[in-house]
């Protein structure tokens, strides 16, 4: 085997320039594909973060009718037994109670529909890092009677810290909800959409506003490891009594999942086109290598090398080309993407406006997910293995006399 490796390796460098050009095409293909994948996955991660880490959490328990009809009437009372039952599942990290509804907020002559989120300040910080996002004033405390609002909303309503926000809404079972609350702080929510409409209140204060004492719209359930999400979802779902239901973030945001999947499929097609072009380049090189050495193959078989052994050497040569290209591509793409991960590309002008209009931060984010890298290596490997069928067939079909005369 060592001799086969040695021979294959030396054969590879018989025409150094040609091998380098072929390796170069793979190198740039891998680099381009890794860059493209990282950019795609980075934007998906950001989208998911926006939904999971800055809003929904990984799973939520609701009243079974809430998701179909998101009314304050479809809330549930927090049962400590339910909370304990969920926390008993070893994959679960923590739970966060929430009461969420809508209200009309106003100041002076300005009004705006807002999303009111009753939260436990400490627990919610754990999920959304809210305290770190306060840009002016301070974060809520437990039992706080004030509120914090999105920076965009404050700008719209021309309000600042210590100003008063008036809200009216419909409370539990049709009771009128109205109140005026001091603004403790302004928050820059990562979602531009929510930044323009979010109002955070302490949970008890919110329940009082909506006359929904001890009631929740959702119990956010977070797992310790993302990999355990589906397992824990199944576990909880199987043991969840009526009238509760549990949903994963994917079930709560099917549009997002679909958007990511279709975009990912588009990326796969693009990458396949790149790899198919590269593969034809490799195939061309291999075909030339074989055509040039037909006589040599004839001699080698004549003096006693089995065809399968010759095929193995040719297989190694093909694989070496793929591996050198893929590894060099990865060696360069890893530091490049680490840099891009730490320094997302800021978008400007209309592109930035369009991104913000869709509720995303105007940045091109990158991902360092292992799949970004191993998928390129695997794809190159698969393509080179497919290409290596050609030299294997050639070695097995070689006509000895014709080869020796060539």
Partner 1 sequence: MNIIEIKNLKKTYNDSEVEVHAVNGVNLSIAEGEFAAIVGPSGSGKTTLLNMLGGLDDPSGGNILIDETELSHLSSSDLINFRMRNIGFVFQSYNLIPVLTAKENVEFIMQLQGKPKKDREERTYQLLEAVGLKGREKSRPGKLSGGQQQRVAVARALASKPKFVLADEPTANLDSKSTENLLDIMEELNKKENITFIFSTHDQRVVNKARRVITLEDGKVISDIRKD
The region of 11-19, 33-41, 49-57, 266-274 touching partner 1 under the rule CB under 8 A is 11-19
Q: Which is nearer to partner 1, 172 or 297 (CB)?
A: 297
With CB under 8 A as the contact rule, the residue among 1, 242, 269, 401 that binds partner 1 is 401
- Residues 219, 149, 128: CA angle, nearest 5 degrees: 45
How far is Cα 113 from Cα 401, in angstroms, rounded to an integer?
A: 86
Positions in 13-42 near partner 1 (CB under 8 A): 13-14
Stretch that binds partner 1, among 35-43, 92-100, 295-303, 314-322 (CB under 8 A): 295-303
Which is nearer to partner 1, 168 or 404 (by Cβ)? 404
Which region, judged by CB under 8 A, interacts with partner 1, from 205-213, 221-229, 239-247, 293-301? 293-301
**307 lies in the site for partner 1, by CB under 8 A:** yes
Question: Considering the rule CB under 8 A, would residue 295 count as an interface residue with partner 1?
Answer: yes
* Residue with smaller CB distance to partner 1, 129 or 306: 306
CA atoms within 13 A on the CB side of 126: 15
Nearest distance from C-beta of residue 321 to partner 1, angstroms: 16
Regarding 1 and contact with partner 1 (CB under 8 A), the answer is: no
CB 268 within 8 A of CB 37: no
- Quick one: which segment of 94-102, 298-306, 333-341, 342-350 binds partner 1 (CB under 8 A)? 298-306
> Distance of CA 250 to CAs 73, 224, 258, 323, Å?
25, 17, 9, 37
Q: Which stretch binds partner 1 (CB under 8 A): 4-12, 235-243, 247-255, 351-359?
A: 4-12
If the CB atoms of residues 270 and 404 are measured against partner 1, the closer one turns out to be 404
What length is written for the chain?
406
Binding residue for partner 1 (CB under 8 A) from 119, 153, 300, 395?
300
In angstroms, how far is CA 283 from the centroid of its own chain?
Answer: 35
CB of 12 to partner 1, least distance (A): 9
Q: Does 291 bind partner 1 (CB under 8 A)?
A: no
209, containing H or E segment: helix 203-209
Q: Which two tokens stand for residue 49?
A: 């973060």
One-character DSSP codes across 132-177:
GGEEEE----TT-SSEEEEHHHHHHHT--TT-EEEEEEE-GGG-EE
**Cβ 385 to partner 1, closest distance in Å?**
24
* DSSP labels, 339-385: HHHHSPEEP-HHHHHHHHHTT--SEE-----HHHHHHHHHHHHHHHH
Residue with tokens 């072929």, as numbered in its chain: 22
Size of residue set near partner 1 by CB under 8 A = 21
CA distance 318 to 22: 11
Q: Which of 18, 112, 237, 309 binds partner 1 (CB under 8 A)?
A: 309
Query: Alpha-carbon distance 129 to 138, whole Å?
Result: 13
User: What residues make contact with partner 1 under the rule CB under 8 A?
Assistant: 3, 7, 10-11, 13-14, 295-296, 299-307, 309, 400-401, 404
């Amino acid at each position: 085997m060592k001799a086969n490796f040695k021979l294959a390796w030396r054969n590879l460098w018989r025409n150094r320039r040609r091998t380098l050009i072929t390796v170069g095409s793979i190198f740039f293909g891998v680099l381009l594909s890794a860059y493209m994948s990282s950019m795609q996955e980075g934007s998906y991660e950001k989208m998911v973060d926006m939904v999971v880490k800055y809003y929904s959490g990984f799973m939520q328990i609701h009243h079974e009718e809430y998701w179909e009809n998101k009314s304050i009437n479809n809330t549930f009372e927090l049962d400590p037994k339910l909370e304990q039952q969920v926390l008993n599942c070893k994959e679960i990290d923590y739970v966060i109670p929430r009461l969420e509804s809508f209200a009309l907020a106003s100041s002076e002559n300005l009004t705006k529909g807002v999303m009111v989120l009753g939260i436990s300040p400490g627990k919610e910080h754990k999920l959304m890092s809210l305290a770190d996002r306060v840009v002016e004033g301070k974060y809520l405390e437990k039992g706080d009677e004030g509120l914090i609002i999105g920076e965009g909303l404050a700008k719209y309503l021309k309000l600042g810290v210590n100003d008063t926000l008036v809200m009216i809404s419909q409370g539990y079972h049709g009771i009128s909800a109205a109140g005026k609350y001091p603004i403790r702080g302004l928050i820059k929510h990562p979602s531009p959409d929510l930044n323009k409409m979010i109002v955070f209140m302490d949970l008890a204060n919110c329940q009082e506003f909506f006359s929904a004492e001890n009631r929740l719209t959702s119990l956010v359930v977070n797992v310790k490891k993302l990999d355990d999400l589906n397992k824990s979802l199944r576990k909880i779902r199987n043991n969840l009594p009526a009238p509760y239901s549990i949903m994963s973030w994917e079930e709560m945001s099917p549009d997002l999942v679909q958007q990511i999947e279709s975009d990912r499929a588009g990326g796969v097609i693009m990458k396949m086109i790149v790899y198919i072009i590269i593969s034809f380049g490799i195939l061309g090189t291999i075909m030339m290598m074989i055509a040039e050495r037909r006589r040599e193959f004839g001699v080698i078989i004549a003096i006693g090398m089995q065809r399968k052994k010759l095929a193995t050497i040719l297989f190694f040569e093909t694989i070496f080309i793929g591996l050198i290209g893929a590894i060099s591509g990865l060696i360069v793409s890893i530091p490049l993407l680490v840099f891009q991960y730490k320094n997302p590309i800021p978008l400007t002008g209309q592109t930035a406006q369009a991104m913000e209009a869709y509720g995303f931060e105007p940045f091109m984010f990158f991902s360092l997910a292992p799949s970004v890298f191993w998928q390129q290596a695997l794809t190159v490997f698969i393509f080179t293995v497919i290409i290596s069928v050609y030299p294997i067939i050639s070695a097995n079909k070689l006509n000895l006399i014709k080869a020796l005369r060539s």
